[in-house]
Structure 1
Amino acid sequence: MNHLTTDQLIRYSKAVLMASFSFFGLLVMVGNFTDYPTNYEYVGHVLSMDTTRENTNISYRAIRSPMLHHRIYWIIITLEVMYTVYCLMGTYQLFKHINASADDFHEAKKLSIVGLLIAIFIYYVCLQVVGVEWFDMDESQIWNIKDWARHIVDFIVPLLIFLALKTER
């Protein structure tokens, strides 16, 4: 480690953090494919709004069709696969260009950035905005993952900023 410069350490930290988030994505994917019914049940309850307080002013928002529940869940799974693949490919590019010029290393960040943006769409827009604000998910005592999604976004956003900053020389 005596020969490791601060610039190299920053490059490695960006690559390792991306690898960590890619690993998270892999675990999410495996969970969705090996335990489809559990997460499908969650999606169904949120969309049906059957575990939130009775509010006739917003009950028209509920989606009660199991077919639509499956389709929406598959859209979520597809987006999770996409962000994971982009993050994995981006991690590979970061490690591949770890000793390249500053410009080449910066360009190697593209796939990682795309993956992180897709993840923000899922965990912020889909779960926190649509799930909480439209389907009233935060009112459910059982099927509420607002805080879980927020913790993921709280990791992604600083990672995206750190990754995108061109600090390398």
Structure 2
Amino acid sequence: MPSLRLLVKDGHEIVAVWTQPDKPAGRGKKLHASPVKEFALQHNFTIHQPQKIKTSEAKELFASHQADAAVVVAYGKILPPEFLSAPKKGCINVHFSLLPKYRGAAPVNWAIVNGETETGVTTMKIIQELDAGPILLQQSADILENETAPELMSRLAEIGANLISETLRSLTDIEPKP
């Protein structure tokens, strides 16, 4: 959520928000919207919550936005090639490690388990291979003594929000690193 909030505050145009479908929660198993959807509703953004993104309808809808760039944060699904090529400047992902270190799932947990004293945030262009796209920007962060994964993730989310906004502002000037 910090990323979407800061993108709005910094004046980036949001053409649509794609998020996971509402999920049952609580004792009554009523459908509940994600915080991302709640934020999008408050700001009257166009919202899409497809059950499947690998359909021709989803691919056509995504391309119809004619976005300059797409920002992906904790979406949890691998995007099909048609999604990656639709935005003019590509799809940008934020990852909570200093790539290429700790590619894949749970990078914060692994950094803590392995006794690292530093980690960070990376923005990169998304390619088909997981967390392997060209690196755009990185910012390091110390791992504090006795810091838990949720505490560190919260700090990295704020750093990531700033890094995403900076990445979008400078996208035409950044020279990606392989």
> Which category describes the TM-score, using the shorter chain as reference length?
under 0.3
Point out the structure with the larger strand share: 2
Higher helix proportion? 1
Larger Rg computed on CA atoms? 1
**RCO higher in 1 or 2 (8 Å CA, sep ≥ 6)?**
1
